[in-house]
């Protein structure tokens, strides 16, 4: 009888283990491929290729696509509808970013001698300050699934709208308040924060503000250090840092 009971408890234990829920951080069931919601969005997934501040494909990017939580993707469609009426399309550089990609950034930043991409993305900075100045951190809002890096594509000129600086430029020139007031959308020309005396034109600042206004209009909040970075205010997973790779979803 004891053997029967022991076998019964063992079987029940195995059943309980098999019924345990999947690790929430690996669950992509509430995510969508952005192009399934916004079909005419343009993708240039920088971390799938080699033109990025690391100079290699980043871990976790299995295909050159962009994923977001369903809520963020639906809000992004509303943004796209607004800018499309103005003659633009959204162009996405990055969206959901798995934790292994962030870990890749951290390893790269700790490898001080590797400065192959310095002339293109951080010419005014010594690589040793990237952690202290929080250009690289161990956690990223992108990993929570409702943050997107993007710009505007001008349908008339068939080129990206001139924002006066490249995506992932490490420096104050990327700040939304560089040469202007992002709260009033007014150009001031104040370039005093630029260590190299760089500047942007009134038109370039105005272009940044077109993107900012549209994102704010549809529930996204900006970041004070990157004109291209926006997070859904009511993000569904504010405490979860997901681990599944970037791949095409069903």
Catalytic status, residue 186: no
| Calpha distance 130→225 (Å, rounded) | 13
Q: What phi and psi, each to the nearest 5 degrees, are found at residue 202?
A: -55, -40
Contact 174/153 with Cβ under 8 angstroms?
no
Helix ranges (H only) for 147-241 are 202-217
Please provide the distance, in angstroms rounded to a whole number, between the alpha carbons at the two ends of the chain.
50
Partners of 17 in the beta sheet? none
For the chain, give the longest Cα–Cα distance: 86
Q: Helix, strand or coil for residue 164?
A: coil
Question: Angle at CA 31, nearest 5°, toward 43 and 26?
Answer: 115
Nearest to 148 by CA among 86, 81, 220, 98: 220
Q: For tokens 């798995």, name the residue.
A: 98
Catalytic residue among 134, 226, 234, 235: 226
Nearest to 143 by CA among 75, 13, 245, 44: 245
Contact 193/144 with Cβ under 8 angstroms?
no
Q: Which residues are catalytic?
A: 226
């Amino acid at each position: 009888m004891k053997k029967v009971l022991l076998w019964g408890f063992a079987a029940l234990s195995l059943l309980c283990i098999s019924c345990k829920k999947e690790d929430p951080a690996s669950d992509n069931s509430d995510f969508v491929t952005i192009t399934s919601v916004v079909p005419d969005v343009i993708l240039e997934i920088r971390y799938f290729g080699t033109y990025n501040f690391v100079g290699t494909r980043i871990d976790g990017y299995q295909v050159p696509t962009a994923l977001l939580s369903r809520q963020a993707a639906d809000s992004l469609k509303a943004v796209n509808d607004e800018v499309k009426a103005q003659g633009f399309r959204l162009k996405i550089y990055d969206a959901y970013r798995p934790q292994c990609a962030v870990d890749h950034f951290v390893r790269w930043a700790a490898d001080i001698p590797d400065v192959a991409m310095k002339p293109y993305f951080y010419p005014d900075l010594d690589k040793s300050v990237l952690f202290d100045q929080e250009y690289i951190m161990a956690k990223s809002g992108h990993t929570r699934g409702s943050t997107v890096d993007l710009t505007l594509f001008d349908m008339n000129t068939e080129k990206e709208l001139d924002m006066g600086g490249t995506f992932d430029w490490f420096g104050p020139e990327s700040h939304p308040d560089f040469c202007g007031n992002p709260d009033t959308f007014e150009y001031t020309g104040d370039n005093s924060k630029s260590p190299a005396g760089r500047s942007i034109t009134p038109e370039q600042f105005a272009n940044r503000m077109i993107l900012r206004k549209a994102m704010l209009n549809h529930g996204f909040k900006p970041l004070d250090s990157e004109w291209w970075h926006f997070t859904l205010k009511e993000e569904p997973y504010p405490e979860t840092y997901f681990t599944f790779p970037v791949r095409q979803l069903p």
